[in-house]
Amino acid sequence: MTDEISPAPLPPEASWSPDHWLYSAGQWTRLDHDPVPDTPTADGDWGQMLREAGFRPWYEVAAPPEAYNFPIPLELHVYERSTAHRPRFAVDLRNDLTLTVFCEELPDLMDLLAKWAPTVHALAAAAQIAKEQAEYR
């Protein structure tokens, strides 16, 4: 008997698009606005755009910068902002490309991370291996 892990379902019309996806109450919906708009002061800098939208780093699973010669196939970064703003969390998945989804509140983020737990666990293990290898060089 195998335990199958089912990802959070996307709407049938979901496909690669520049749309902004929100995970809330176990459902995916498209946002009608960009929670992290580009601004003249950000000039395309994603970190600056996040800061200007009120997001701050909250959690990440990534290799330390000194270990980047060890290939980590995917990184996960979570950003949080004041409870007065919605969506409250931005979740970046990074490899050669950064893809971002949003979570309405903390329970939504926890649900999404639980669904992604096998991937997050593998990323954390790979990051730890990379860190240890960097320490022994």
Region 89-99 average pLDDT:
87
Residues in the chain: 137
| Within a domain: 78 | yes
Average pLDDT in the chain: 80
In a domain, 49, yes or no: no
With respect to residue 19, please indicate whether it lies within any of the assigned structural domains. no
Residue 67 banded pLDDT, cuts 50, 70, 90 = low
Q: Is residue 95 one of the residues assigned to a domain?
A: yes
Number of domains forming the structure of the chain: 1
Identify whether 136 is part of a domain.
Answer: yes
Residue 116 lies in a domain: yes
**By residue range, what is the domain housing residue 104?**
56-137
The residue-averaged pLDDT of 89-94 equals: 92
Residue 123 maps to a domain: yes
Answer whether residue 14 shows pLDDT above 50: no
In-domain check, residue 24: no
